[in-house]
Amino acid sequence: EGQACGLVKNLSLMCSVSVGTSTEPIIEYMASRNMEILEEYEPQRYPNATKIFLNGSWIGVHHDPKALVRDVQQLRRSSQIPPEVSLVRDIRDREFKIFSDAGRVMRPLYVVEQEDTRTAVKGQLALDRAMLQKLIDDGDPDKVAE
């Protein structure tokens, strides 16, 4: 009596569940970015092509997956395709999987761009003597603010 019975699942506060989006704009974009349609694909000519899957269905192949993944990620980051669309690139199996179906549990995704190391200031102290003196002066209750 009073015990949890059956399957109990918990969903994190930050998670959400996808509602599904149309696949037609994604297919049209892929075709415009030199995706070879599956019906026209000749495996003997392009044995190292990357397979493209949309919601588990093999829709075509592409010869430059790195550029394609980068372009689709930029579309998602600029909200031209919905943020609930999931992108997975499997380099070892040469597959690029896109998921836009309903019922997927999604976690928040925070993108951090790597700063340009050429413009980053290196070798300078974050806390120099002038900054240290200012901190000491600000923390001294005997000094009157000017």
Q: Which helix (H) or strand (E) holds 88?
A: strand 86-90
Give the predicted TM-score (pTM) of the model. 0.69
Q: What is the Cα–Cα distance from 84 to 66, expressed in whole angstroms?
A: 21
Contacts of 61 (CB under 8 A, 6+ apart): 35, 36, 38, 41, 46, 49, 50, 51, 52
For 16-110, give the CATH class: alpha beta
- Check whether 97 has a pLDDT greater than 80: yes
- Give the confidence band of 146 by pLDDT, cuts at 50, 70, 90: very low
Q: Ranked by mean pLDDT, which of 81-85, 110-114, 129-133 comes out on top? A: 81-85
DSSP code at position 39: G
